[in-house]
Structure 1
Amino acid sequence: MKRHFQSFTINGTIEDKGLPILLICNHMSWWDGIWTLYVNQQLFKRKYHFMMLEEELRKNWFFQYTGGFSIKKRSKSIIETFDYTAELLSDAKNLVLLFPQGNIKSIYQNKFVFEKGIEKILQRTKDDIQIVFQANLIDYFADAKPNAFFNLHHYTGEWNIDEIEKAYNSFYKQCLEAQAKKEI
């Protein structure tokens, strides 16, 4: 990563409660999973898992060796994927990364519409997991290579998909506003 980026900054502090972590993150580039792995290694030190579309995992098969597991939308196997994700979230040694919008979107997107999968997974888990939001942003400033910013927030609200979506959108908006005020 150091070859491709000028710097990495983690913003926000998260109290590690020793629980399994469901990390909800924007998906703006191929780098998102790698960046989240970096954050996990720096802060949480959990066994890393991430969900990705089955067709993408087939193209990038090596991700299955780094914690990647597949989901196939609009198929019967989607139930198995939700059950597997909930099973991962029953072990405090695990961190599961989900991209709520389901596919890569522009970094300049200002509203995320969550797929229903998060709700289905939360229905299968107990209340003893920690939900963490991450917003990845980049800026070049005066550098030839981009600076990567990983913004974190511990979600403590209701376990309702509409509330989680609203809270993530509010968090992301705050991250964009804070990023716009940065100078070199």
Structure 2
Amino acid sequence: MIIKSKPLSLFWLKVGGYCLTIIFRIFFFNKLIIKPADIKSGHSYILSINHFSFGDGFLGFYLAYQVLIKQGKMKRLYIMSLKKQMEMKWWLRHLGSFSIEPGKYSVKESMAYAAEILNEPGNLLLFFPQGNLESCHIRTIEFQDGISEIVPQIKGNCQLLWSSNIAEYFESIKPSVYFNMLDCGTAKDFDFDRFKQEINLHHKESLKKNVRFTKEKD
């Protein structure tokens, strides 16, 4: 049996996003630069991001706050988390987390629950398709099958979004983060192979723009 979410209200999401923005900009980062994608109204959203640090959940929430909550397009935040983590940290469910237990039969229940959430406009699922931590500077994103099991079960209108988040220091002792967003279409026209190809092409282009400014052979 999965542990279901008890997500924060929109009011607390706005308060949390505002506070996190101030904390990020004063204490942790030099610059936070978002290269946005077009966001569809009246949809739910899957926001997939590359997984390179323990703080990715906070970065994902910051991005959602800036491009979705502040624009009035998002109402609830959900995150798929390992069941063993949720059992140790009970408060995660109140931040939008629901459980998944890889290798167990309950995985199907977790996927169905994610799809059910995404049937409602304004709900957002923050998703890490790699499944493991990897450097933000890898050239190829390797995807687990999770998203391909969720999307076909979605009955409502759902937009798929990706962000290649790349951290660099350059002139500062504090890192800057570049959020390179990509509109990956909707659940209705989802094709997993095309989804992976488009994201990997986008990720390589993001690295070229954000990391190295001289011409380099692929």
For normalisation by structure 1, the TM-score amounts to 0.91
User: After the TM superposition, which residues 125-144 of structure 1 pair with which residues of structure 2 at under 5 Å, given as runs?
Assistant: 125-126=154-155, 128-144=157-173
Q: Say whether residues 1:93 and 2:122 are aligned partners.
A: yes
Q: Say whether residues 1:22 and 2:46 are aligned partners.
A: yes
Q: Measure the CA separation in 2 of the matches of 1:90 and 1:122.
A: 10
The answer to whether the Cα contact below 8 Å between 1:16 and 1:44 also exists between their aligned partners in 2 is: no
Q: Secondary structure at the match of 2:137?
A: coil
Gaps of 5+ in 1: none
Q: Which has the larger radius of gyration?
A: 2
Among residues 191, 197, 206, which one is paired with 1:160 in the alignment? 191
Q: Measure the CA separation in 1 of the matches of 2:156 and 2:136.
A: 31
Q: Measure the CA separation in 2 of the matches of 1:75 and 1:108.
A: 32
The residue number in structure 2 matching 1:44 is 68
More helix by share: 2
Among residues 102, 106, 114, which one is paired with 2:143 in the alignment? 114
Q: Secondary structure at the match of 1:134?
A: strand
User: After the TM superposition, which residues 45-84 of structure 1 pair with which residues of structure 2 at under 5 Å, given as runs?
Assistant: 45=69, 46=74, 47-84=76-113
Q: Measure the CA separation in 1 of the matches of 2:150 and 2:180.
A: 24
User: What RMSD over aligned residues (CA atoms) do the two structures have, in Å?
Assistant: 1.9
After TM superposition, which residue ranges in structure 1, 4 or more long, deviate above 4 angstroms?
none
Q: Measure the CA separation in 2 of the matches of 1:53 and 1:166.
A: 27
The answer to whether the Cα contact below 8 Å between 1:89 and 1:129 also exists between their aligned partners in 2 is: yes
Q: Say whether residues 1:173 and 2:204 are aligned partners.
A: yes
Q: Measure the CA separation in 2 of the matches of 1:164 and 1:56.
A: 29
Moved more, 47-56 or 25-34: 47-56
The answer to whether the Cα contact below 8 Å between 1:14 and 1:152 also exists between their aligned partners in 2 is: no
Percent identity, aligned pairs only, is: 27
The answer to whether the Cα contact below 8 Å between 1:17 and 1:130 also exists between their aligned partners in 2 is: no
The residue number in structure 2 matching 1:147 is 176
The aligned amino acid for 1:104 is L
Count residues with an aligned counterpart. 183
Q: Secondary structure at the match of 2:28?
A: coil
> Which fold has the larger relative contact order, with Cα–Cα distance below 8 Å and residues 6 or more apart in sequence?
1
For normalisation by structure 2, the TM-score amounts to 0.77
The aligned amino acid for 2:101 is K
Q: Measure the CA separation in 2 of the matches of 1:113 and 1:99.
A: 11
Gaps of 5+ in 2: 1-23, 214-218
Q: Measure the CA separation in 1 of the matches of 2:88 and 2:209.
A: 36
In the TM superposition, what is the alpha-carbon distance from 1:59 to its structure 2 partner? 4.6
Cα 1:4/1:61, change in 2 over 3 Å: farther
Cα 1:124/1:177, change in 2 over 3 Å: same
In the TM superposition, what is the alpha-carbon distance from 1:53 to its structure 2 partner? 2.2
In the TM superposition, what is the alpha-carbon distance from 1:141 to its structure 2 partner? 0.9
Q: Measure the CA separation in 2 of the matches of 1:32 and 1:16.
A: 24
